[in-house]
Chains A and B, each alone.
Chain A
Amino acid sequence: MSSPGDQLQAFLERTPYVRFLGLRAELSGDVLTAVLAFSPHLVGNTFIPALHGGVIGAFLEMTALAQLFIVQPPGPRPKTIDVTIEYLKPGRAQTSYARAQVRKIGRRIANVHVDAWQDDPNQPFAALRGHFLLSTDELS
C-alpha cells in the first residue's frame, strides 16, 4: 500500500477545486507544508492587491484537512464542523505557506490550528482554528 503522503498527493491531484486554487502540499516526515502560488484569479482586492478572504480561509481549511489525512489511519474523509478564520494582515500577491497543528485528536473529533505566512513563519498573515469530524458513521 502507498504511503499517506502518496495517498494525499493522489487525492489532491484528482480534486478539481485544489487545481482551481493551484494548491500543493510538501511533506517532510510528518510535517506538511501547504503551498499556494499567487495567481491573479485569487485576488479579492485589486487596489493593494490582496488575496480574497475566502481564498485564505479555503487555503487554511485545506491545510487542516490535509494534515488530518496524514495523521489519521485510512478511513472516511474528515468533515469540517466549524472554523474560525483570523485575518491578521492582507495576503499579498506572492506565494503563501501554511502549516497545521493537530491540538487534539479524539475518536470522533479533532481540533486543529493552522497558521499561514508569506515571508516569515513567525509573522503569520492569517490563522484558523477548527473542529473536524473524523468518523461519520457514528453521528449520521
Chain B
Amino acid sequence: MSGGSNILNELAERMANATPHSEALGFRFISVSPGRGSIAVGWREDLVGDPDTQVIAGGVVTSLLDHTCGLAMAAAAADQPFSTATLDLRIDYMRPAAPRVGVTAEAHCYKLTRTIGFVRAEAWDVERSDLIATAQAAFVLNRPRT
C-alpha cells in the first residue's frame, strides 16, 4: 500500500515521544513495521527500583511493555482511525535487569478483530535471547461512530 510506511513512521514518532510519561522516562523509538513495534529505555539514576543493586525499576519495564504493546496495536491498524484502551496486561518477570543497564522491548499484535487486538511482547537488557520479561495484552479498539 503506498504511503503505508509514512503512516507508520509518523505513528512511531508520535507513540514513542508524544505522551508526557514516555517522554519523562526517556523512551527511544527503535523500529516499527505492520503489527510490530520496538522501543527502548536507557538506565537512569532516578529510575532505579532497588538502591542496593542499582537495577532499573520493574515499574519502568511495565510502562515500556504497555507502551510498546500500544505501538504494535497502532501499527497493526495504522490506516484506520481508532483509539485504543488496554483491557489487561499480564507480565511475567524472568529475572531482574542487569545493574545500570537499560531495557529494550518488542511487541507483536498477532490478531486484530473488529473490536479487540491481541498483543505479545518481550523485554531484554543485553541479549534478546536472554529475556527479563514477557507480556501478553488485550486492547479494545474504539472506532469513531459512522
Q: How far apart sit A91 and B68, CA to CA, in the bound complex (Å)?
A: 19
A residues 37-65 near B (Cβ < 8 Å) are 40-46, 51-55, 57-59, 61-62
**A21 engages B66 (CB within 8 Å):** no
A86 within 8 A of B: yes
B50 at the interface (CB under 8 A from A): yes
Binds B, one of A24-32, A73-81, A99-107, A112-120: A73-81
**B96 surroundings in chain A (CB, below 8 A):** 79
Distance from B64 Cβ to chain A, minimum over Cβ atoms (Å): 7
Could you tell me if A57 and B93 are in contact, using CB atoms closer than 8 angstroms?
A: no
Asked if residues A19 and B46 are in contact (CB atoms below 8 Å), the reply is yes
Distance between Cα atoms of A45 and B22 in the complex (Å) = 10
A87-B88 contact in complex given A19-B46, A57-B62, C-beta closer than 8 Å: yes
Contact between B93 and A52, CB atoms less than 8 A apart: no
In the complex, are the beta carbons of A20 and B47 less than 8 A apart? yes
Q: For the complex, count residues of B whose C-beta is within 8 A of A.
A: 35
CA distance A30 to B91 in the complex (A): 28
A80-B20 contact, Cβ under 8 Å, with A15-B50, A58-B63? no
The answer on a CB contact under 8 Å between A16 and B45 is yes
Given that A20-B47, A58-B62 are known contacts, is A85 also in contact with B21, CB under 8 Å in the complex?
no
Contact residues, B8-31 vs A (CB, 8 A):
18-24
A109 to chain B, nearest CB (A): 13
**B112 within 8 Å of A (CB atoms):** no
Closest chain A residue to B24, Cβ basis: A41
Min Cβ gap B42→A in Å is 14
Q: Which residues of B contact A40 (CB under 8 A)?
A: 20
Among B47, B63, B65, find the residue whose CB has the most chain A CB atoms closer than 10 A.
Answer: B63
List 14 extra interface pairs beyond A44-B67, A82-B92, CB under 8 A. A15-B57, A16-B45, A16-B46, A16-B49, A17-B46, A17-B47, A17-B49, A17-B57, A43-B21, A52-B63, A53-B63, A55-B63, A79-B96, A81-B93
* Across the A-B interface, the 5 shortest Cβ-Cβ residue pairs: A54-B63, A58-B59, A17-B57, A52-B21, A41-B24
